[in-house]
Structure formats: C-alpha cells, structure tokens
C-alpha cells in the first residue's frame, strides 16, 4: 500500500478519535512539532526505528519528542503511538504527523502562511498581512515569520501552493533572466 495513503489513514483515524474525546485541538501543535522533529533529523528516525530498543522504549521516546512526559501528553496520543508501534508503522510517524496537521487545518479552516523577510517585522505589519491572507483565503490565518538575510530585502509569502516573491533577490534574478533572454535573441 502507498505509504502516504497509509499515513493519511492513520492520521484521519487519530483526528476522528481525538475529536471524539475532545483532544483534537490539543494534539494539533503536538503533531506539528512531532513531524517537524522526525523529518530533518536522521538520528531521531534511527532511534524510532531501532530494533534493539523495545517498542515501549521507542514509544516513550516519541512521547518525549511530542512534548514531555507521559502525564503531559494527551491520552489519545499515547494510545495512538502504542497502536503505531504495535503494527510496526513507526517509520511513518513523521508522515502521519504531517497528515494530521493538514487534516486538522482543513477541518478547522486554518490557512497556513509562511512569510520570509530580510529583517524583523512589527506587529502591525504582521496583522495586516494576516488580514490580507484571511480576506483572500478565508478562515483563520496561521502566519509563520522567518528571517532570511539572503533575500536582501522585501519578502517571500507562501500560502498553500502559491508563492509571492517580492524579494530584492527575486527581482534581481528576474532582471538577470531578462538579460539572458534578450542576449539570446540578439545572437
């Protein structure tokens, strides 16, 4: 079976169960943190998939990654992690976390936007951008702001699959491409 489809099915089941027991909103930031921890770090994935550790030890590690000790993590997540390890699907935990986040955002009409700027922005600029994104896409806006000095100035705004490039670096690249195109037509 396709791994992404399987991960989505697990995430859908978790969202359904967590909604039923009233923990869906509590799980949202936890699952967001979990998939982000599992994605880039091979050492974390190695621990989760390490067959020399018991399933309980690996499950405890995942619970710790998700936000601390067993008492601070919702019961639905502990049960979910136990189920995943019982069915030996731990290699899909990152994909399950991401799928959960996407399903939750869709269910709650949350638009995720990423703003990349060369410098810090003030709170009024941030709220203005959130308002504009909300007008365009509707629902609640979850804006993540990142600083990247390499864009020189301006901004990059990613919403869904769309990218608005208002960066100086992007403008310089577009000018460079125009020169290349024009020079090719001359030769």
pLDDT single digits (tens) 11-59: 999 999 999 999 999 999 888 888 887 766 666 667 777 777 777 777 7
Domain residue limits at 159: 110-186
Residues 48 and 126 in one domain: no
pTM of the model: 0.76
Cβ atoms of residues 95 and 125 within 8 Å: no
Question: Phi-psi region for residue 67, left (φ > 0), alpha (ψ -120 to 50) or beta?
Answer: left
End of a domain among 90, 106, 122?
106
Same domain, 92 and 124: no
pLDDT digits (tens, 9 = 90+) for 108-133: 999 999 999 989 999 999 999 999 99
Q: How far apart are CA 100 and CA 15, in angstroms?
A: 7
pLDDT at position 52, please?
75
Angle CA(74)–CA(83)–CA(14) in degrees, nearest 5? 55
Given 72, 106, 140, the domain boundary residue is 106
Last residue of a domain, one of 65, 87, 106: 106
Are the beta carbons of 30 and 72 closer than 8 angstroms? no
Are residues 16 and 101 located together in one domain of the fold? yes
Q: What residues form DSSP beta bridges with 144?
A: 114
Q: CA-CA distance, 164 to 155, in Å (whole number)?
A: 8
Q: Determine contact, residues 111/138, Cβ cutoff 8 Å.
A: yes
In the predicted model, what is the mean pLDDT of the chain?
85
Dihedral over Cα of 47, 49, 50, 53: its sign = positive
pLDDT digits (tens, 9 = 90+) for 153-185: 888 999 988 888 888 888 888 889 988 888 887
Residues 46 and 7 occupy one common structural domain: yes
Interatomic CA distance for residues 10 and 98, integer angstroms: 11
101 and 125: one domain? no
């Amino acid at each position: 079976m396709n791994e992404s489809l399987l991960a989505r099915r697990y995430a859908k089941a978790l969202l359904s169960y967590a909604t039923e027991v009233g923990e869906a909103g509590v799980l949202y930031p936890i699952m967001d943190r979990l998939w982000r921890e599992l994605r880039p770090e091979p050492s974390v994935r190695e621990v989760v998939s390490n067959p020399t550790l018991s399933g309980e030890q690996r499950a405890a590690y995942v619970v710790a990654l998700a936000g601390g000790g067993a008492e601070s993590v919702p019961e639905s997540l502990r049960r979910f992690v136990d189920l995943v390890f019982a069915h030996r699907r731990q290699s899909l935990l990152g994909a399950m976390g991401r799928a959960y986040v996407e399903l939750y955002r869709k269910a709650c009409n949350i638009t995720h936007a990423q703003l990349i700027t060369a410098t810090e922005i003030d709170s009024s600029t941030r709220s203005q951008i959130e308002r504009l994104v909300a007008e365009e896409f509707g629902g609640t806006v979850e804006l993540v702001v990142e600083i990247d000095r390499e864009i020189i100035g301006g901004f990059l705004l990613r919403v869904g699959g769309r990218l608005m490039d208002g960066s100086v670096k992007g403008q310089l690249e577009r000018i460079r491409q125009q020169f290349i195109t024009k020079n090719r037509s001359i030769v």
